[in-house]
Amino acid sequence: MSYSPPTTLSSLTAHLLSTTHLTRPLSSHATHPSLTHQISSLLLHPSLEAALHILNADLPSAHFLVRHMQAPPAVEGMLLHSISHRCEGDFGNARAWASDVKDACEGWVPKHRGEKKLNDEVSKQILRAAEVDATLVEFVYRGDVEGLGKIIDDVENFRNRSLKEKSSASEEAIENRIREEMERIISWCAQKFGSESWPDASTAWVKDSEEIQKVSNNMVSGDGGWRKF
């Protein structure tokens, strides 16, 4: 009888980082369908679970989770929401969420930069548990607060190229940046939330702002997005 090592956050992260391909348009199914249940069964913090689902190209599973984390202090869910839209090719929404998470990380109410600050309690919850003098965006993109937007631009530009214009070298360069991005998000979340199980995931949910709720309702029942729930 063959031995199968236990599935852990570390083992799943290492495996998925080595096999993920998020630069090109994704297929309609996960890269490793058998891992969807394994990821969910760990009962990780929803941000960690969503990140693993994205690495596995399982956007429906990831999107279900991030839709419960669309407002401060859940900046991790907001960032992953931007990335999930980027993966599915919805670059407009990817940029909208990127702008919102940058606002929140810098202490502003999303969409009200320069007008309305987040309250002190929410701002404290946004910060990392460990002592690091950086916001989530600064940490993930190594101090380049425009890094998220640059990857969105580069993925969109790559996908819009003709087959003859696409080189394996340029694709691999973007893919390596995405792998580092996801690895650093997982590192941040593991240090902030821990890698133990969260039996009650609802403790991580946040209430949407009125503006975000209107956008979400339009995406579900209107014409604000291609995915229908």
Predicted confidence at residue 204, as pLDDT, reads 87
Give the pTM: 0.88
Task: Please give the structure tokens belonging to residue 21.
Answer: 């391909």
Predicted confidence at residue 202, as pLDDT, reads 84
Predicted confidence at residue 208, as pLDDT, reads 62
**Residue 160: pLDDT band with limits 50, 70, 90:** very high
| CA–CA distance, 147 with 108 (Å, rounded to integer) | 19
Average pLDDT over residues 129-149: 88
Q: How many CB atoms lie within 10 A of CB 218?
A: 12
Task: Please give the structure tokens belonging to residue 186.
Answer: 């997982």
Average pLDDT over residues 139-145: 95
CA dihedral 72, 41, 185, 111 (to 10 degrees): -20
- The mean pLDDT of the chain is 88
| CA–CA distance, 155 with 157 (Å, rounded to integer) | 5
Task: Please give the structure tokens belonging to residue 221.
Answer: 């029942």
Q: What is the tens place of the pLDDT at every residue in 62-106?
A: 999 999 999 999 999 999 999 999 999 999 999 999 999 999 999
Average pLDDT over residues 162-182: 95
Predicted confidence at residue 75, as pLDDT, reads 97
Question: DSSP state, 117?
Answer: B
3-state SS, residue 52: helix
Least reliable range by pLDDT among 35-49, 90-104, 125-139 = 125-139
Q: Are residues 137 and 101 in contact, defined by beta-carbon separation less than 8 angstroms? A: yes
3-state SS, residue 18: helix
- Between the CA of residue 227 and those of 60, 84, 209, what are the distances in Å? 9, 12, 21
| CA–CA distance, 227 with 115 (Å, rounded to integer) | 32
Q: Name 108's bridge partners.
A: 117
Predicted confidence at residue 5, as pLDDT, reads 58
